[in-house]
C-alpha cells in the first residue's frame, strides 16, 4: 500500500520539523516516528528484512497509568474524553500526547490518562478493570512505585515491602497480558531525587524498587523507560530541586525530561 497523499508523519526528521514542532520535540525522537502499518517500504532493497513493527499504529488507544506523577492535576470529570488537554493533566503525559498527536495528526490516536494521586500497586489492581482493561488499550504505560516506599516509610502503608511491590505488580501485569494478549506494555522506572521529602535513608531500599520494575519489564516483554538515569543525567546541569522540588513530583522542567526520555525510549522500541 502506498503512503497516503499528504501524510508527512512517516517521513524523515526533516519532514517532521516542517510540521512546525520545535527542536526539543525532535530531540525527543518524535521525528523518527515509525511508519504506520502498510506504509511504503521506502525503496528498501529486495530480500532485506522488514523493519520492526511500529510502536504506534493507526487508531491506537494509548493509556497512561500511575500515581500523582502521572495524574498531574488532571480533570477527572472529563477523563472519558480522549486527547482532551485538561483530562491529560499538567505533566509529562500531556507533553507526550501533544507531540504524538501533532506528529500523527489524522491517524486516529486516542490518548487517556488514568493516574490517581497517592496510589500504590494494589490500588491500581482494585480499579484495573474499569480504568485499564475496559479501555482496551493498545499501548499501556505504567509508572508506579514511589508511594509504595514513601507511604510505608510514613507509617501509612505498614505492609509495604519490595517483595509485596514486586508480587502485586507481577500479578497485575500477568492479568493484563491475559486479558489483552496483543497489548504493548511500557514499564516506567520509579525515580526520586535527593531533596525535599527524599533523604539519604531512602537508600538502598529504593534502588530495590527500581530493580524490581526493570526485572518485571523484562519478564513481561515490556519496554523499560529508565527515568532515574535520565534525571541523574539532568543533575549534571542543575540541582535536584530544579527537576523535582520535593524530590518526587517533577517541576515543569522535570516533566520535560520525562516526556523527552519516554518518547526517545519508546520510539526506539528497546529495553534498556
pLDDT digit string, tens, across residues 114-151: 999 999 999 999 999 999 999 999 999 999 999 999 99
- Model pLDDT, residue 236: 97
The answer to whether 240 and 194 have CB atoms below 8 angstroms apart is yes
Fold of 53-268: Rossmann fold (3.40.50)
Query: 139-143 and 61-66 as β-strands: parallel, antiparallel, unpaired?
Result: parallel
User: Is the pTM of the predicted complex or chain greater than 0.85?
Assistant: no
| Cα atoms in the 13 Å half-sphere on the side-chain side of 68 | 12
- Model pLDDT, residue 55: 78
**Is residue 146 classed as helix, strand or coil in its secondary structure?**
helix
Residues in the chain: 272
Looking at 67-107, list the stretches that DSSP marks H as alpha helix, in order from N- to C-terminal side: 68-71, 85-88, 92-103
pLDDT in tens, 81-122: 999 999 999 999 999 999 999 999 999 999 999 999 999 999
The answer to whether 148 and 120 have CB atoms below 8 angstroms apart is yes
Q: Which one is predicted more confidently, 188 or 40?
A: 188
Most confident of 1-15, 21-35, 60-74: 60-74
Residue 270's pLDDT band (cuts 50, 70, 90): low
pLDDT in tens, 201-214: 999 999 999 999 99
In 10 A of CB 255, how many CB atoms?
A: 23
How far is 271 from 178, CA to CA, in rounded Å? 22
- Model pLDDT, residue 22: 37
- Model pLDDT, residue 143: 98
Region of poorest pLDDT, from 22-31, 85-94, 148-157: 22-31
Going by C-beta distance under 8 Å and a sequence separation of 6 or more, which residues neighbour residue 114?
Answer: 63, 64, 65, 79, 131, 132, 135
Q: Is the pLDDT of residue 216 over 80?
A: yes
- Model pLDDT, residue 269: 76
Amino acid at each position: 500500500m502506498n503512503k497516503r497523499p499528504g501524510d508527512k508523519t512517516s517521513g524523515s526528521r526533516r519532514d517532521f520539523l516542517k510540521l512546525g514542532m520545535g527542536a526539543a520535540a525532535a530531540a525527543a525522537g518524535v521525528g523518527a516516528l515509525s511508519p504506520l502499518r502498510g506504509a511504503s517500504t521506502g525503496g528498501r532493497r529486495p530480500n532485506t528484512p522488514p523493519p520492526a513493527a511500529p510502536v504506534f499504529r493507526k487508531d491506537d488507544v494509548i493509556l497512561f497509568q500511575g500515581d500523582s506523577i502521572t495524574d498531574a492535576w488532571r480533570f477527572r470529570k472529563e477523563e472519558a474524553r480522549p486527547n482532551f488537554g485538561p483530562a491529560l493533566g499538567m505533566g509529562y503525559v500531556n507533553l507526550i500526547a501533544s507531540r504524538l498527536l501533532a506528529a500523527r495528526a489524522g491517524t486516529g490516536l486516542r490518548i487517556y490518562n488514568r493516574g490517581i494521586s497517592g496510589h500504590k500497586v494494589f490500588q491500581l489492581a482494585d480499579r484495573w478493570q474499569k480504568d485499564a482493561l475496559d479501555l482496551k488499550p493498545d499501548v499501556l504505560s505504567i509508572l508506579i512505585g514511589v508511594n509504595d516506599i514513601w507511604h510505608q516509610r510514613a507509617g501509612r502503608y505498614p505492609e509495604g515491602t519490595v517483595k509485596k511491590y514486586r508480587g502485586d505488580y507481577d500479578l497485575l501485569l500477568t492479568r493484563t497480558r491475559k486479558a489483552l494478549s496483543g497489548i504493548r506494555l511500557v514499564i516506567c522506572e520509579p525515580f526520586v531525587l535527593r531533596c525535599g521529602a527524599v533523604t539519604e535513608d531512602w537508600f538502598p531500599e529504593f534502588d530495590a524498587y527500581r530493580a524490581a520494575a526493570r526485572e518485571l519489564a523484562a519478564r513481561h516483554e515490556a519496554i523499560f523507560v529508565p527515568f532515574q538515569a535520565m534525571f541523574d543525567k539532568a543533575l549534571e546541569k542543575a540541582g535536584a530541586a530544579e527537576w523535582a522540588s520535593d524530590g518526587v513530583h517533577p517541576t515543569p522542567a522535570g516533566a520535560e525530561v520525562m516526556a523527552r526520555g519516554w518518547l526517545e525510549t519508546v520510539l526506539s522500541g528497546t529495553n534498556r
